[in-house]
Amino acid sequence: MAQVSLVSCPGYDPAACRAALEKALNAVGGLDFVKPGMRVGVKANLVSFMKPEAGATTHPVLLAELTKLLKERGAASVVIGDSPGGLYTAAYVKNVYRATGMQEAEAAGAELNMDFTQKEAEAPDAMVAKRFTYTGWLDGCDAIVDFCKLKSHGMMALTGAAKNLFGVIPGTMKPEYHYKYSNAADFARMIVDLDEYFKPVLSIVDGVVGMEGNGPTMGKARPMGILGASRSPHMLDLVCAELIGLRREDVPTLEAAWERKLIPASWKELDVDGDVEAFKVRDFQNIGTKNDVVFFGEMLLGEGNNPFKRAFAKVMQKALSSRPKVYPPECVGCGQCARICPAKAIKMEDKLPHIDRSRCIRCFCCQEFCPKGAMKVSRTAIARLLNR
């Protein structure tokens, strides 16, 4: 049994999607976890009111075909859910289901989650998130399948299987968690804490059409023709990072998983069913990562962890770190960025957002949820120069 599988899936034709799912799943052990009468929860990526063709959400055809496979295997029910950014209420989430095409999965026999209770978790073995609030519908599931979308991400570099579990945090609470874990490394550790608490039995990635550039919501849909699966969200993400030109060091959630020995140092140490080299998207448009500071320090000072190097990294942090920036021609002055900012670093002046850099925690919530894509990840001039 392979640890990760990659298969070709050129489009969202139902028959092609079913065949690709069967092939990908069989390579990693199939659906042998399904027992007769089981209730399976599918945690999809339904981040916002996005049409399937935008490349931001798990495609409904794939969810429909997975539902059929699960029910044929003996699952009594399959429930699909997520907590998008915004209100975690029936009215709000129903509109997200409608926009993202979830009626197609419903027609295939899936239930769309309508349990909007919230529960409190105690996780004494967690690294940082020892207590957290989560969406209660997951308690009614005998097994959880993590069905993510392959996208670029402003804060985490990659949205994949691990980051998809942040959707267990109720929508309106997400900014609180961004503020609480404002350091990228701690935010990633929190994500891995959630992964380890809920332990999805299977992770699947929809990379048939992914998203590049200003992801995870307002980037460009990128046809990739890839479907992947694994028993581990972190192993799947390690391979996905390679497919789009990212190293483990570029993705904070992968660093957090490696820190806990959940993944090896390189994807090459994994048993992958599928030709990774053939699936690589070599011109994928990624967002600049947080590691320019580290690499620049090593270039000037050599490798190691000496006090001078640490001090140098702190001095250079502001000069090199990516940050959100508004592009006025695309801004409509709706104020959503100011409302969602967990650090209250954005104020509207003359119908344009102005960012207080001394308060900005670089969580990129404003960039992620700008409805027009006017807030983008911007790299500093020195970072761009060094990248050359």
Q: What is the Cβ-side half-sphere exposure of residue 368, based on CA atoms within 13 angstroms?
A: 26
pLDDT at 287: 84
What is the Cα–Cα distance from 236 to 227, expressed in whole angstroms?
Answer: 11
What is the Cα–Cα distance from 144 to 40, expressed in whole angstroms?
Answer: 6
Asked whether the predicted pLDDT for residue 312 surpasses 70, the reply is: no
Q: Treating both helix axes as pointing N-terminal to C-terminal, what angle do 292-301 and 307-320 enclose, rounded to 10 degrees?
A: 140
Question: Lowest-pLDDT range, 60-64, 129-133, 230-234, 284-288?
Answer: 284-288
Q: What is the Cβ-side half-sphere exposure of residue 388, based on CA atoms within 13 angstroms?
A: 6
Distances (CA, A) of 152 to 149, 214, 274, 377: 10, 7, 22, 11
pTM over 0.85: yes
Domain locations along the chain: 4-279, 292-387
Asked whether the predicted pLDDT for residue 314 surpasses 80, the reply is: no
Tokens 């807030």, residue located: 375
Mean local confidence (pLDDT), 64-79? 98
Q: Which CATH superfamily is domain 4-279 in?
A: LarA, N-terminal domain (3.40.50.11440)
How confident is the prediction for the chain on average, in pLDDT?
A: 91
The CATH class, in words, for 292-387 is: alpha beta
Higher pLDDT, 273 or 298: 273
What is the Cα–Cα distance from 335 to 312, expressed in whole angstroms?
Answer: 37
Tokens 């799912």, residue located: 21
Asked whether the predicted pLDDT for residue 317 surpasses 80, the reply is: no
pLDDT tens profile 83-127? 998 899 999 999 999 999 999 999 999 999 999 999 999 999 999
Name residues whose C-beta falls within 8 Å of residue 283's C-beta, 6 or more positions apart in sequence.
Answer: none
Asked whether the predicted pLDDT for residue 167 surpasses 90, the reply is: yes
Q: DSSP per residue over 231-249, as a string?
A: S-HHHHHHHHHHHTT--GG
- Looking at residue 48, the DSSP 8-state letter turns out to be S
pLDDT at 305: 56
